[in-house]
């Protein structure tokens, strides 16, 4: 479904992603594991096309130069120069880190805003799906999103992404800032998203322990470079992973 080939991204003279290639098959849950500043967000922005908008804005204001090399393929087509909004219409949806929501709007209003590309029937179906996947959202459907807990806001952000009707859902640091209990709850919700909707998932995350057992495949990156690959459960027993991410 997705293939990234020999991707290189520079911010001015600093390299963020260095000759990185990966593949994602339809229906998989794939993890991109790495520490802070490893290049995970840059990779997600590149897959979603957001990096093209960032590059254009920087060029217009005379800011830092962003250079992108390599190719991104989605369902066999080269989308390397395809704008982010067209990628969203094609089914690539990015849920950015730190749960970007509309805090002054209610849960229902946030979900409806995210479904602006959909028909009324699809929006109704999307609302039912979001509330079935995240019962906490159903309970607080009329509450302003800014009054939700951090974990509930993350669930709302994922629900908003699902409202678009993605084929490929990109989750950037979904566990960031959450308590261990809420991380576990969110991982269960992500598994439910996969099993119920069949959406292909790519998850960029530094908190590897809760996710690794459920990943069909994982890519470990450091300093923008690929260092380890393998099925999630297999990497759980890798000494390097235990030392770097589990503290043992």
Q: Does residue 140 lie in a domain region?
A: yes
Residue pLDDT, tens place only, 77-99: 999 999 999 999 999 999 988 76
User: Which pLDDT belongs to residue 43?
Assistant: 97
Q: 20 - beta bridge partners?
A: 7
What is the mean predicted confidence (pLDDT) over 2-25?
94
pLDDT at 7: 97
| Residue 145 lies in domain | 25-47+83-246
pLDDT tens-digit profile of 208-231? 888 899 999 999 999 999 999 999
Residue 128: pLDDT band (50, 70, 90) is very high
Q: What is the mean pLDDT of the chain?
A: 91
Q: Residue by residue, what is the 3-state secondary structure of the chain?
A: CEEEEEEEEEECCEEEEEEEEEEECCCCEEEEECCCCCCHHHHHHHHHCHHHHHHHHHHHCCCCCEEEEEEEEECCEECCCCCHHHHHHHCEEEECCCCCCCCCCEHHHHHHHHCCCCCHHHHHHHHHHHHHHCHHHHHCCCCEHHHCCHHHHHHHHHHHHHHCCCCEEEEECCCCCCCHHHHHHHHHHHHHHHHHHCCEEEEEECCCCCCHHHCCEEEEEECCEEEEEECHHHHHCCHHHHHHHHCC
Distance CA 242, CA 238 (A): 6
Residue 230 lies in a domain: yes
pLDDT at 248 over 60: no
Within a domain: 29: yes
Q: Is residue 69 part of a domain?
A: no
% of the chain with per-residue pLDDT over 90 = 67
Residue 11 placed within a domain: no
**Is 38 among the domain residues?**
yes
pLDDT in tens, 141-157: 999 999 998 889 999 99
Alpha-carbon span 148 to 90, nearest angstrom: 31
pLDDT score for 247: 54
CATH number of the domain to which 170 belongs: 3.40.50.300
- pLDDT, residue 62, reads 86
pLDDT for res 136:
86
Predicted local confidence at residue 177, as pLDDT: 83
- Can you tell me the mean pLDDT for 110-119? 90
pTM to 2 decimal places: 0.92
- Answer yes or no: is 55 within a domain: no
- pLDDT tens-place string over residues 158-192: 999 999 999 999 999 998 888 888 888 889 888 98
Number of independent structural domains in the chain: 1
Identify whether 62 is part of a domain.
Answer: no
């Amino acid at each position: 479904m997705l293939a990234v080939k020999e991707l290189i991204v520079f911010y001015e003279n600093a390299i963020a992603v260095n000759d990185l290639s990966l593949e994602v098959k339809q229906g998989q849950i794939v993890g991109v594991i790495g520490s802070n500043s490893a290049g995970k967000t840059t990779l997600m922005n590149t897959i979603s096309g957001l990096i093209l908008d960032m590059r254009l804005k920087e060029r217009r204001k005379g800011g830092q130069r962003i250079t992108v090399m390599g190719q991104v393929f989605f369902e066999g087509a080269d989308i390397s120069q395809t704008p982010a909004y067209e990628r969203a219409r094609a089914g690539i949806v990015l849920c950015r880190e730190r749960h970007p929501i509309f805090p002054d709007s209610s849960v229902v209003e946030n979900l409806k805003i995210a479904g602006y590309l959909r028909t009324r029937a699809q929006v109704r179906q999307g609302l039912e799906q979001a509330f079935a996947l995240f019962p906490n959202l159903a309970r607080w459907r009329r509450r302003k999103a800014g009054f939700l807990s951090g974990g509930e806001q993350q669930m709302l952000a994922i629900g908003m992404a699902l409202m678009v009707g993605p084929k490929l859902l990109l989750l950037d640091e979904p566990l960031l800032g959450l308590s261990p209990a809420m991380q576990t709850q969110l991982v269960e919700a992500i598994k439910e998203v996969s099993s119920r909707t069949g959406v292909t998932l790519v998850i960029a995350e530094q908190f590897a322990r809760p996710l690794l057992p459920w990943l069909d495949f994982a890519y470990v990156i450091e300093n923008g470079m690929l260092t380890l690959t393998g099925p999630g459960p297999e990497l759980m027993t890798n000494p390097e992973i235990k030392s770097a991410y589990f503290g043992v």
